[in-house]
Chains A and B, each alone.
Chain A
Amino acid sequence: MPEPDPTPAHARGRLRGSRLSRAKRLAVSDDCSPDTRLNARTGKRQKVSGDSFPVLAHPGIPQSVSEAQQHIAAIRTEKGVDNAGTFMKDLGAAMDLYDSLPPQCFPIEKS
């Protein structure tokens, strides 16, 4: 029986280049016309460089411009554009995090 590999799992994956299992599960959708994308502002299709414009079919990746726009709008709302209280909470958390980081996290000296 072979001896167990003492290398940590994350290192084995890195060494063997097998870290793309997520990508393997993804498939390319064909709901976008090649070479163009929809310009949200003008409503017209806009030519893009290259041969195609693949958008991968994945639950986390918006499959249309309108879905992406709605998501950005939701983030703006959540971030406090319409709610200063939420924003101040985020800002406070950011300042706390910055203060807690050790100096070695800053290649340039922390000021």
Chain B
Amino acid sequence: MELIQNSDDNSYAEMKVPRMTITYKPGCLRIDTNEIGFSKSDVEAICSIGQSTKVGSKKHSEATGEKGVGFKSVFGVSDRVFITSGHYSFMFSNTTSLDRLAPTWAEFPESPTAGHTTILLYLYPDWDAKVAAELQNLDATVLLFLRQLQEINVCISPSSGPPISRRLARQTCSPDDSGLVSLTLYPNDISHVVYHHAFESPVGAKWRGQSNKVISLAFPSNIEYYHSTEAPAHAHQQVYAYLPIRDYGFKVITSLFPCHVILLSYSPPLKWLERCTN
């Protein structure tokens, strides 16, 4: 999830569809993104904590992550991380705290992909199977509330059995005057109508210097829902902060349809949100 979030915060050339390819083979996880490439400040950010390039920039209010903390989470599953981007080619190891913060210039162990930023993780043995399983279960709804990333390709080469390739993608229609946005997620081909609601923070709290917040609600809108005579599903849905966070127990929100909730801020108290949605 952290690497998906980072990919969503990258800068992409206008002519490119923001795309990420995740390749797993036993012991290794490789991530390729077709972003414009690491700047010096990007490299400094992943070598620091509390110094993200997202903080203080115009991009900051739109970025998903902050604090430069997230990338370090890769060391929870990996003991060596290689990165190549543009003319950069370096690695981190998980040997000591210093090695996690100070990069070492290193040749990328595999063939780099032209015009891509590539990250290669050597996985701890006890995380190997878990990472493979998580990739197999990765659902297209992970793209639902992301800002830029349009496509995730997943290639899994398990130690036994045939390789698995999946393409997760979304297609976003331009918003109409009502503020509704239609999203179509593949491969399940489920359309969603996303409604964005802007509001002033009820507690006056500011997040990233802004008191305005946006809550977005997504409703599956496939035609079979309208013609179904069965009771609508009332299953709990995940709460998102761009990416799925956890199940807080929200069900249907004044609607026949299950919904996804996104909090673009951590600030609104959950009790308040619960009151709004009941």
Contacts and interface: CB of A to CB of B under 8 A. Distances in A.
B212 interface: yes
B262 to A, nearest CB: 11
Contact of A75 (B102, B116, B175): B102
B198 A56 contact: no
B86 A55 contact: yes
B87 A65 contact: yes
A14 B59 CA distance: 11
B246 interface: yes
A61 B198 contact: no
Given A10-B62, A19-B147, A97-B67, A49 B111 contact: yes
B174 interface: yes
A85 B212 CA distance: 41
A49 to B, nearest CB: 5
B77 interface: no
Given A56-B37, A72-B105, A75-B102, A15 B181 contact: yes
A62 B86 contact: yes
Interface of A: 6-8, 10-11, 13-17, 19-20, 22-24, 26, 35, 37-41, 47-56, 58, 60-65, 67-69, 71-73, 75-76, 79-81, 87, 90-91, 93-94, 97-98, 101-102, 104-105, 107
A11 B12 contact: no
Given A69-B105, A93-B49, A53 B89 contact: no
Q: Is the interface of B mostly helix, strand, loop or mixed?
A: loop
Interface stretch (B40-48, B132-140, B160-168, B219-227): B40-48
B36 interface: yes
Contacts, number: 155
B40 A53 contact: no
A35 B114 CA distance: 7
Contact of B38 (A7, A24, A51, A61): A61
B112 A37 contact: yes
Interface in B237-275: 245-246, 264, 266
Task: With a 10 A CB-CB cut-off, give which of B13, B42, B69 has the most chain A CB atoms.
Answer: B13
B233 interface: no
B95 to A, nearest CB: 13
A80 B98 contact: yes
Given A11-B214, A75-B103, A94 B49 contact: yes
B179 interface: yes
A76 B14 contact: no
B189 interface: no
